[in-house]
Protein backbone atom coordinates (compact mmCIF):
# COMPACT_ATOMS: atom_id res chain seq x y z
CA UNK A 1 0.00 0.00 0.00
CA UNK A 2 1.48 3.34 -0.97
CA UNK A 3 1.44 6.52 1.12
CA UNK A 4 -1.56 8.02 -0.68
CA UNK A 5 -3.64 4.86 -0.14
CA UNK A 6 -2.67 4.78 3.57
CA UNK A 7 -3.76 8.41 4.01
CA UNK A 8 -7.12 7.62 2.38
CA UNK A 9 -7.67 4.60 4.63
CA UNK A 10 -6.72 6.59 7.77
CA UNK A 11 -8.95 9.49 6.69
CA UNK A 12 -12.02 7.25 6.35
CA UNK A 13 -11.20 5.35 9.53
CA UNK A 14 -10.88 8.64 11.42
CA UNK A 15 -14.16 9.92 9.96
CA UNK A 16 -15.89 6.70 11.05
CA UNK A 17 -14.54 6.94 14.61
CA UNK A 18 -15.56 10.60 14.81
CA UNK A 19 -19.09 9.79 13.59
CA UNK A 20 -19.39 7.08 16.25
CA UNK A 21 -18.26 9.44 18.98
CA UNK A 22 -20.64 12.18 17.87
CA UNK A 23 -23.60 9.79 17.81
CA UNK A 24 -23.22 9.23 21.56
CA UNK A 25 -23.80 6.14 23.63
CA UNK A 26 -27.57 6.59 23.84
CA UNK A 27 -27.90 6.07 20.09
CA UNK A 28 -25.73 2.97 20.34
CA UNK A 29 -27.83 1.51 23.15
CA UNK A 30 -31.05 2.00 21.17
CA UNK A 31 -29.54 0.42 18.08
CA UNK A 32 -28.11 -2.58 19.87
CA UNK A 33 -30.98 -3.38 22.23
CA UNK A 34 -34.23 -2.24 20.62
CA UNK A 35 -37.16 -3.70 22.52
CA UNK A 36 -35.19 -6.68 23.84
CA UNK A 37 -36.13 -7.76 27.33
CA UNK A 38 -39.66 -6.39 27.09
CA UNK A 39 -42.86 -8.41 26.93
CA UNK A 40 -46.45 -7.26 26.57
CA UNK A 41 -49.59 -9.01 27.78
CA UNK A 42 -52.74 -8.38 25.78
CA UNK A 43 -55.05 -9.64 23.07
CA UNK A 44 -54.90 -10.42 19.36
CA UNK A 45 -58.09 -10.42 17.32
CA UNK A 46 -59.66 -10.09 13.90
CA UNK A 47 -60.20 -6.61 12.51
CA UNK A 48 -63.70 -5.44 13.39
CA UNK A 49 -63.99 -7.62 16.48
CA UNK A 50 -63.65 -6.05 19.93
CA UNK A 51 -62.44 -9.08 21.86
CA UNK A 52 -59.54 -11.29 20.87
CA UNK A 53 -57.48 -14.18 22.17
CA UNK A 54 -55.04 -13.75 25.04
CA UNK A 55 -51.53 -13.18 23.77
CA UNK A 56 -48.10 -12.21 24.94
CA UNK A 57 -45.60 -10.46 22.66
CA UNK A 58 -42.06 -11.23 23.72
CA UNK A 59 -38.99 -9.35 22.45
CA UNK A 60 -35.83 -11.31 23.16
CA UNK A 61 -32.49 -11.76 21.39
CA UNK A 62 -33.60 -9.29 18.68
CA UNK A 63 -36.60 -11.50 17.86
CA UNK A 64 -40.37 -11.17 18.32
CA UNK A 65 -42.59 -14.03 19.43
CA UNK A 66 -46.36 -14.20 19.86
CA UNK A 67 -47.51 -16.91 22.27
CA UNK A 68 -51.04 -17.05 20.80
CA UNK A 69 -49.65 -17.69 17.31
CA UNK A 70 -47.44 -20.59 18.39
CA UNK A 71 -50.39 -23.02 18.20
CA UNK A 72 -50.53 -22.28 14.45
CA UNK A 73 -46.84 -23.05 14.03
CA UNK A 74 -45.58 -19.46 14.02
CA UNK A 75 -42.22 -19.13 15.71
CA UNK A 76 -40.03 -16.20 16.61
CA UNK A 77 -38.67 -13.88 13.94
CA UNK A 78 -36.14 -11.04 13.78
CA UNK A 79 -37.66 -7.60 14.24
CA UNK A 80 -36.56 -4.16 13.12
CA UNK A 81 -37.31 -1.02 15.07
CA UNK A 82 -37.00 2.72 15.03
CA UNK A 83 -36.86 4.68 18.27
CA UNK A 84 -38.33 8.17 18.12
CA UNK A 85 -39.55 10.81 20.50
CA UNK A 86 -41.43 8.89 23.18
CA UNK A 87 -42.25 5.88 21.04
CA UNK A 88 -40.69 2.95 19.23
CA UNK A 89 -42.05 1.41 16.05
CA UNK A 90 -41.29 -2.15 15.04
CA UNK A 91 -41.83 -4.62 12.21
CA UNK A 92 -41.43 -8.37 11.90
CA UNK A 93 -42.58 -11.23 9.71
CA UNK A 94 -43.28 -14.54 11.43
CA UNK A 95 -43.79 -17.71 9.39
CA UNK A 96 -45.50 -21.08 9.72
CA UNK A 97 -44.92 -24.00 7.37
CA UNK A 98 -48.68 -24.72 7.25
CA UNK A 99 -50.27 -21.33 8.01
CA UNK A 100 -48.29 -18.81 5.93
CA UNK A 101 -46.89 -15.50 7.15
CA UNK A 102 -47.86 -12.83 9.66
CA UNK A 103 -46.56 -9.31 8.94
CA UNK A 104 -46.40 -7.29 12.18
CA UNK A 105 -46.27 -3.47 12.33
CA UNK A 106 -46.57 -1.87 15.73
CA UNK A 107 -45.87 1.01 18.07
CA UNK A 108 -44.73 0.97 21.67
CA UNK A 109 -45.52 4.14 23.59
CA UNK A 110 -45.15 4.33 27.33
CA UNK A 111 -46.13 0.94 28.68
CA UNK A 112 -48.53 0.10 25.85
CA UNK A 113 -48.21 -1.55 22.45
CA UNK A 114 -50.58 -1.54 19.49
CA UNK A 115 -50.03 -3.40 16.25
CA UNK A 116 -51.65 -4.48 13.03
CA UNK A 117 -50.95 -7.94 11.70
CA UNK A 118 -51.59 -9.11 8.15
CA UNK A 119 -51.96 -12.89 8.03
CA UNK A 120 -51.39 -14.29 4.53
CA UNK A 121 -52.06 -17.94 3.65
CA UNK A 122 -51.62 -19.57 0.27
CA UNK A 123 -54.89 -19.72 -1.66
CA UNK A 124 -56.78 -17.46 0.78
CA UNK A 125 -57.39 -13.74 1.06
CA UNK A 126 -55.13 -11.96 3.55
CA UNK A 127 -56.71 -11.36 6.95
CA UNK A 128 -56.05 -8.26 9.06
CA UNK A 129 -55.66 -8.64 12.81
CA UNK A 130 -54.99 -6.22 15.69
CA UNK A 131 -52.94 -6.52 18.82
CA UNK A 132 -53.09 -4.41 22.00
CA UNK A 133 -51.20 -4.98 25.20
CA UNK A 134 -49.50 -3.56 28.25
CA UNK A 135 -45.91 -4.09 29.33
CA UNK A 136 -45.43 -6.97 31.74
CA UNK A 137 -44.29 -5.61 35.10
pLDDT tens figures, 3-17: 665 554 444 444 443
Domain that holds residue 78: 35-135
Whether residues 42 and 23 share a domain: the answer is no
Whether residues 122 and 57 share a domain: the answer is yes
HSE of 131, CA atoms in CB hemisphere, 13 A: 32
pTM for the model: 0.75
Show the beta-strand stretches assigned E in the chain: 39-46, 53-60, 63-66, 77-83, 87-96, 100-109, 112-120, 127-135
Q: Indicate the pLDDT class of residue 137, thresholds 50, 70 and 90.
A: confident
CA dist 60 → 47, 56, 98, 136 (Å): 27, 12, 24, 14
Whether residues 17 and 72 share a domain: the answer is no
Phi first, then psi, for residue 6 (nearest 5°) are: -60, -45
Q: What is the count of structural domains for the chain?
A: 2
pLDDT tens figures, 54-107: 999 999 999 999 999 999 999 999 999 999 889 999 999 999 999 999 999 999
Q: What is the CATH number of the domain that holds 91?
A: 2.40.160
Amino acid sequence: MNTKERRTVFFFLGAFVLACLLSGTQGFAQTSMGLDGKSFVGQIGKKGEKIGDKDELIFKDRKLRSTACEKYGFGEAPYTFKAGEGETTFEAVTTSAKEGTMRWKGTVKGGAVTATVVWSKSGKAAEELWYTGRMRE
